[in-house]
A and B are shown apart, each in its own frame.
Chain A
Amino acid sequence: MKLDDLVQLVGDNLFAHRLRALLTVLGITIGIAAVIAVVAIGQGSQAVILSELETLGNSNSFQVTVDTSQGEAPTVDTFNLEDANLIKELSPAVLEMAPISFSSMVDLRLPQSLEKPLMSQLVGTTPDYASSANLTLQNGRFLSTADVSAHARVVVLDADLAKTMFGDSDPIGRQIFIQDNPATVIGVLQQQTSLLGAMNLHYTYVPITFAQDILNSRVIYELSGVAVSKDVLPQAMADSIKILNNRHFASTVHYTAQSMEESLGAVSNVTSVITMVIGAVAAIALLVGGVGVMNIMLVAVTERTREIGLLKALGARRRDILQQFLGEAVALCLVGGFFGVVLGAGGALIVAFFAHWPPLISGWTILLAFGFSATVGLFFGIYPASRAAALSPAEALRTL
């Protein structure tokens, strides 16, 4: 049998039972659409999360902390104020290095204000942090080395905090109280991206020495560095750990370093696992559709037993019958796959449009969906088709 004849026979047979074919196609459509939409939405949201996270830090940046996975926590002896400068001087791979001490929440208020204080995360650091955390200023200046050495009572606010506290008036030079410590505003950061704003995280940056005074604690939690280039990033991390180990040989903690990219990779892994899990659930819908195809093909074989007998009497070989029934199953799935791609991609585009995500439907996803639906057709069609092909013509003709 020629291919065009096979296509025509398959088309004729499906058209003869169009309602049934349509319903079967619907099952596959829903399955494929679910898979496409979930994967596209997953990839879209992942891209958004990653791009937002990338704004949080320099791509050459890295953090040095203690091994929290071992339950270790930094103490007063873990890092000291000189470590960051020393690492920067000793390692040619390290461009910037800033110590950070922070508190979860401090309250901020204006002088003589009776309003409820604002809650903010306090970050005590040095000038280098601006480059490592990709901080850009909207107004004023960032912390200086002189501020750090002088325990200067100065503060840099993020845009939201500045707006809430001072409205439209210029905050530079104004006084605020941080946990009842007076401080002068010297800078305001650029507005952060939407995702972090939505998480309602606000940051107040002060010289690390001032932060230690406010918090009454000498503990430095981590060092945040920037490597000279991407190529020397591993060396920058290794150097930092080596220097720290030399300087704190008595310390029992283990220093670890993680690059920004590694942290992003971890986030990316989480979101792709979520996508995979939801995708697997969607794939179950596809499986159900496949079972529908098998069911309908088995009905077709039973119904058309006599026809199969006749076709064999007219010279159809086993292979011809097999091809015909398999062709019908695959055709059902491919048509379902087509509408599924349209529906799923459409749904994903609509979601992307309203969520302001990049529309992420790759050719691969579509190709995969078609491949998958053809495979579903083959897999669920092979049993009914081989049953049809194996029928003895004489027996098939005897059935009514």
Chain B
Amino acid sequence: MISILELTKTYGVGGAAVSALDHLTLEIRDGEFLSIMGPSGSGKSTFLSLLGLLDRPSSGQYLIDGRDTVSLSDDELASLRAQKFGFVFQAYNLMPRYRIIRNVELPLIYAGVERRERANRAEDLLRMVGLGHRLSHKPTELSGGEQQRVAIARALVNGPAVILADEPTGNLDSKSGQEIMGIFQQLHQDGKTIVLVTHEPKIARYAGRTLHFLDGSLVREEINT
């Protein structure tokens, strides 16, 4: 359960200060599939960064399972982030010099997991996303859709409760995009909480609830059926 109260993020100081996120209050239930829409500059990416503990809010409260995150140290944030969140980016953000299995193992290396267990978990997840036969390929040898599937496997490898996806289909053709959304739907059915930022209404409708952002504020909320 995620509770957000009056969360604000301001960039710059004094008169030049710009609120990227303006007193946002929100609750995200466990297992919910949430999509966020809005034009660029509406604060949706800032919100996702704050949600994923990649950035600190200027003010407000952010509780994860009742635990306040604002007062945590950088390292505490890092370990909470690693346990709780998996990230999927628009540009996949795979490490081009590593084979895909190593890309998926990367979070486990920082979590200090044994080699054998790491390989097993990464392989299982790559199989799950349909890439079991390409473990030793470099990311550049894969199509965009395949790369994004590697990124999803990587996001899942630590067993996080929440998947944060920033325009995951933004760089993909519609067919690959649909495949990716199929995986997200599956993850949702498996009980993962999913927060997905997009500017495509068709993609947003996969979620149970869509939030519309404008100028750093939540302006509209719709329940998809």
Partner of B79, one of A12, A311, A315, A395: A315
Choose from B75, B81, B112 the contact partner of A318 (Cβ within 8 Å): B75
B residues contacting A by CB (< 8 A) are: 49, 52, 54-55, 74-75, 78-79, 81-82, 87, 89, 93, 95, 97-98, 106-107, 109-112, 154, 158
* Contact partners of A394 in chain B: CB under 8 A: 49, 54-55
A117 in the interface (beta carbon within 8 A): no
Q: Are A317 and B75 in contact (CB under 8 A)?
A: yes
Q: Give which listed residue, B75, B97, B110, contacts A314 with CB less than 8 A.
A: B110
Given contacts A312-B54, A315-B82, A394-B54, contact A1 B109 (CB under 8 A): yes
Contact A314 B55 (CB under 8 A): no
Residues facing B in A1-40 (CB within 8 A) are 1-2, 5, 9, 12, 16
Q: Does chain B have a CB within 8 A of A347? A: no
A57→B67 CA distance, assembly (Å): 85
CB < 8 Å: which of A5, A9, A310, A319 contacts B75?
A319
Q: Are the CB atoms of B55 and A315 closer together than 8 Å? A: no
A sample of 17 inter-chain contacts (CB < 8 A) reads A1-B110, A2-B109, A5-B109, A12-B98, A309-B54, A312-B78, A313-B54, A314-B82, A314-B106, A315-B78, A315-B79, A315-B82, A315-B110, A316-B78, A316-B110, A317-B79, A393-B54
Q: Which residues of A contact B112 (CB under 8 A)?
A: 1-2
Please indicate the chain A residues that have their CB under 8 angstroms from the CB of B95 in the complex: 307, 310
In the complex, are the beta carbons of B81 and A315 less than 8 A apart?
A: yes
Contact A314 B54 (CB under 8 A): no
C-alpha spacing A317/B55, complex, angstroms: 14
A128 to B203, CA, bound (A): 109
Residues from chain A with Cβ under 8 Å of B107 in the complex: 314-315
Q: Is the CB of A311 within 8 A of B106?
A: yes
* Residue A392 interfacial (CB < 8 Å): yes
Bound CA span A314–B94, Å: 11
Contact present for B54 and A397 (CB under 8 Å)? yes
In whole Å, how far is B58's beta carbon from the nearest beta carbon of chain A?
13
CA distance A5 to B97 in the complex (A): 16
Question: Digit string of A361-395 for contact with B (CB within 8 Å is 1, else 0)?
Answer: 00000000000000000000000000000001111
- For A272-314 the 0/1 string (1 means CB < 8 A from B) is 0000000000000000000000000000000000110111111
Instruction: Given A393-B55, A394-B54, A397-B54, answer yes or no on A314-B154 (Cβ-Cβ < 8 Å).
Output: yes
A16 touches B158 (CB 8 A): no
| Interface residue? A320 (CB, 8 A) | yes
Chain A CB within 10 A, most for which of B55, B78, B98, B112? B78
